[in-house]
Structures are given as structure tokens and as C-alpha cells.
């Protein structure tokens, strides 16, 4: 019985292999490029696997995504059909994301980019902002991460809204569902947070049409996936003043190329896909438990729905 691990960063691969091996002593764990007996490989733990990465393993039972998103697995055109995909989620991931969302929503709410610019110019200017109770924050995606982020924002006093594909009920959050309620939701978002999975339906969702539906001067935080955003539409909306600021954690190309205009844009904050970055000791505990449970029962709660795309 063996497990292969595939992560683009070699140092990280070794870190994860060591952690997983300590937790799964009955298994042999290999890097995917040196898998040992391919017949024995029954699980693959992966982040952004190469196209065709799973083809050498005829007895694979499941793929484990080293994260909540599975878009990087579904991107493989040669992915074996009907292969179960297990997400790696848990309270550490949701805790980190709620911290990130609270930090950046508060930063936009309290106009910190303008205050920081004033400090650079040694300008003493008291900006008056409304209290959180008069600031409307909308969260796109109300799953593990978006649902927790919305609850956190509501607990900070924000007028909190949430939008998802199917209807959700969350205390203190006004919820909207489906395409039919999308425009009403957007019209009420002074700050918009994207925590959607990347699917056919959500690719390019953060575009000129969406920005035009937000109140003028709104700001946007994208911690979902880079391809949710149409980059030129964002630059145009910032130039025209329709948007005041954007905080972006995820990008079409990661790492963000050094010549990319986002790096130096005064109204864009770039963070390097760290909104909720799971560490190997924590993630390995979740993955080991999921592999053991899947091995024993053929089921885990964190199974993704590949047809749905998340
Ligand atoms: P979940 O699967 O738990 O939740 C996804 C949510 O998005 C659900 O509420 C779902 O609606 C909603 N949704 C999906 N498609 C649509 C649609 N077409 N229209 C409206 N709503 C839709 O995912 P998580 O919360 O665990 O993670 C969300 C994403 O966050 C991940 O896929 C990943 O891309 C990103 N992520 C980013 C990280 C970072 O560090 N930047 C870290 C981890 C994840 P419904 O509930 O009705 O099904
Ligand atoms: C994830 C991520 O999907 O880190 O977990 O982006």
C-alpha cells in the first residue's frame, strides 16, 4: 500500500511526505516522480498536478487535494473518470480564512490604504468613516470558508450579505441565492468578498458587468481563484472610480510575474495566495484521517462533487 505526493515545490513535497509518513506508518509514501511499484499506489496527495499525472497508477482509489479547491485537479484533461476527489478542509483552514477576510474588510472599511498613503506624505488628515453597522459587506460563496467569513463579519457588526448557488440561512446574514438574486445582492455590497470555487459558471465572474452593479466606490477582495477576475475590467473599474480598491490573494498566473501591473498599482493590494495556507503538520493530520476513513468505509465527508466542480 503506498501513497504518492505531487507538489510543484520540492522542499514542500519532502515536508509533507515526512509528516504523512509519521502519521501513516503502515503506508509507504513516495514523491510522484519516484513512485516505487506503481501497482501499489492507491492514493495521490496533490497540489496542481501535471496533466496525466495519475495515468501510471492502475489501482488508484482516490485523489486528495492539498487544499479546499479541486479546480487544480479537474484541470487535468486526462483525469481518470469517476475518480473520487477528497478535499482538505477543517477548522484551521476556516480560522485562517476568517482572519484574512476580517483583516482586509476592516482595512477597506477604515480606509487604511488612504491613511497609509497620507503617512508616506506626512499628511495629518482625519478621515471619518461610518461604523461597521452602516457598512454593507457581501460574501460570494457560503460554503466552509464563505459561511464562516460571513458569520465573522456579522459578529464584527457589519451589515452582512451572502450569495450562493442554493439558499442558505445564516444568523445575522441576509442571504441571496442563484442568478436571479445576484443583481440585488451586488447593489447592496460596499465591500465584496469572493470565496467561490472556480467552475465553468464562476470563471470570469468578477468582470465589468459585476463591477458596474456595485455601489460606486465599492471595494473588492478576491481570495477565491485568479480566473474569477477579468484583470483588464478591474483596472478599468479602478481607473474610472467605479471601484476604490481591490485586495487580491489569487491570480491567473502564480507566482504573479514581476512585470504584472497589479504589483505597483496604488489601488491594489497583492497578497501571495496566503489567505488560508495550510501547513504540513495540520494538513497531514486531516489527510491521514481522511485516507484511513476512506480506506475503511469508502466514504469521507470531504468528498468533492466533480460533476458540480467543487
Ligand atoms: P465550498 O465548496 O464549501 O463552498 C463553495 C460555495 O460556493 C458554496 O456556498 C456554493 O453554493 C457556492 N457556489 C458554487 N458555485 C456557485 C455559483 N455558480 N453561484 C453561486 N454560488 C456558488 O468551498 P470552500 O468554502 O471550502 O472554498 C471555496 C474556495 O475558496 C475554494 O474552492 C478555493 O478556490 C478558495 N480557497 C482559497 C484559499 C486561499 O488561500 N486563497 C484557501 C482555500 C480555498 P452552494 O452552497 O449553494 O453549493
Ligand atoms: C485551497 C487553497 O484551495 O489554498 O485550499 O487555495
Residue 114 CB burial class (10 angstroms; 0-12, 13-18, ≥19): middle
Residue with grid cell 505526493, as numbered in its chain:
5
Residue pLDDT, tens place only, 247-298: 999 999 999 999 999 999 999 999 999 999 999 999 999 999 999 999 999 9
Residue with grid cell 459561511, as numbered in its chain:
147
| Ligand 2 atom with the shortest distance to the CA of 72 | 3
Which active-site residues does the annotation give? Answer: 225, 273
pLDDT of amino acid 11:
87
Per-residue pLDDT, averaged over 51-77, amounts to: 97
Q: Collapsing DSSP states into helix, strand and coil, what is residue 72?
A: helix
**Confidence check: pLDDT of 118 > 90:** yes
**Confidence check: pLDDT of 215 > 90:** yes
Instruction: Tell whether ligand 2 has an atom less than 6 A from the beta carbon of residue 66.
Output: no
Distance between alpha carbon 159 and the CA centroid of its chain, in Å?
Answer: 23
Per-residue pLDDT, averaged over 14-32, amounts to: 97
Nearest residue (CA) to ligand 1, atom 43: 68
**Backbone CA torsion sign across 42, 288, 223, 133:** positive
Q: Collapsing DSSP states into helix, strand and coil, what is residue 302?
A: coil
**Confidence check: pLDDT of 111 > 90:** yes
Q: How far apart are CA 240 and CA 280, in angstroms?
A: 43
Per-residue pLDDT, averaged over 5-11, amounts to: 92
Distance 22 CA to ligand 2 centre (A): 24
Whether the pTM exceeds 0.95: the reply is yes
Instruction: Tell whether ligand 2 has an atom less than 6 A from the beta carbon of residue 69.
Output: yes
**Confidence check: pLDDT of 10 > 90:** no
Bridge partners for 5 per DSSP: 31, 45
Tally of CB atoms within 10 A around 11: 8
Distance 78 CA to ligand 1 centre (A): 24
Residues whose CB falls within 8 Å of the CB of residue 110, separated by 6 or more in sequence, listed in order = 129
Judged by its nearest atom, the ligand closest to the C-alpha of residue 146 is 1
The x, y and z cell numbers of residue 64, run together, are 486528495
Mean pLDDT of the chain: 97
Per-residue pLDDT, averaged over 221-249, amounts to: 98
Is residue 88 within 8 Å of residue 41, measured between CB atoms? no
Q: How far apart are CA 165 and CA 281, in angstroms?
A: 33
Nearest residue (CA) to ligand 2, atom 5: 67
Residue pLDDT, tens place only, 146-155: 999 999 999 9
Residue pLDDT, tens place only, 185-208: 999 999 999 999 999 999 999 999
Is residue 212 within 8 Å of residue 242, measured between CB atoms? yes
Distance 147 CA to ligand 1 centre (A): 9
Q: How far apart are CA 310 and CA 68, in angstroms?
A: 9
**Confidence check: pLDDT of 129 > 90:** yes
Is residue 108 within 8 Å of residue 219, measured between CB atoms? yes
Q: How far apart are CA 298 and CA 303, in angstroms?
A: 10
Nearest residue (CA) to ligand 1, atom 15: 165
Question: Which of 90, 276, 302 to mutate to test ligand 2, by most ligand atoms within 8 A of the CB atom?
Answer: 276
Distance 250 CA to ligand 2 centre (A): 10
**Confidence check: pLDDT of 300 > 90:** yes
pLDDT of amino acid 277:
94
Amino acid at each position: 500500500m503506498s501513497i504518492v505526493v505531487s507538489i510543484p515545490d520540492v522542499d514542500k513535497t519532502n515536508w509533507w511526505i515526512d509528516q504523512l509518513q509519521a502519521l501513516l506508518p503502515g503506508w509507504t509514501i513516495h514523491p510522484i516522480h519516484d513512485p516505487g511499484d506503481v501497482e501499489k499506489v492507491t492514493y495521490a496527495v496533490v497540489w496542481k498536478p501535471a496533466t496525466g499525472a495519475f495515468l501510471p497508477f492502475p489501482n488508484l482509489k482516490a485523489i486528495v487535494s492539498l487544499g479546499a479547491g479541486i479546480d487544480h485537479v479537474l484541470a487535468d484533461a486526462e483525469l481518470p473518470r469517476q475518480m473520487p476527489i477528497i478535499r482538505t478542509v477543517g477548522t484551521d483552514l476556516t480560522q485562517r480564512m476568517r482572519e484574512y477576510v476580517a483583516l482586509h474588510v476592516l482595512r477597506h472599511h477604515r480606509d487604511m490604504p488612504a491613511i497609509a498613503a497620507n503617512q508616506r506624505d506626512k499628511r495629518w488628515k482625519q478621515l471619518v468613516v461610518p461604523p461597521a453597522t452602516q457598512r454593507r459587506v457581501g460574501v460570494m460563496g457560503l460554503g466552509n470558508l464563505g459561511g464562516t467569513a460571513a458569520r465573522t463579519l456579522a459578529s464584527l457588526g457589519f451589515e452582512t450579505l451572502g450569495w450562493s448557488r442554493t439558499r442558505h440561512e445564516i444568523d445575522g446574514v441576509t442571504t441571496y441565492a442563484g442568478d436571479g438574486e445576484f443583481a440585488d445582492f451586488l447593489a447592496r455590497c460596499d465591500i465584496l468578498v469572493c470565496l467561490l470555487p472556480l467552475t465553468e459558471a464562476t470563471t470570469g465572474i468578477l468582470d465589468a458587468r459585476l463591477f458596474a452593479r456595485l455601489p460606486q466606490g465599492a471595494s473588492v477582495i478576491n481570495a477565491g481563484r485568479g480566473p474569477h477576475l477579468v484583470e483588464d475590467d478591474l483596472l478599468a473599474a479602478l481607473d474610472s472610480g467605479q471601484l476604490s480598491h481591490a485586495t487580491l490573494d489569487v491570480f491567473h498566473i502564480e507566482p504573479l510575474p514581476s512585470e504584472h501591473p497589479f504589483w505597483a498599482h496604488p489601488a491594489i493590494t497583492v497578497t501571495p495566495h496566503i489567505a488560508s495556507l495550510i501547513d504540513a503538520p495540520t494538513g497531514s493530520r486531516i489527510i491521514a484521517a481522511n485516507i484511513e476513513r476512506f480506506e475503511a468505509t469508502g466514504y469521507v465527508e470531504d468528498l468533492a462533487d466533480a460533476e458540480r466542480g467543487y
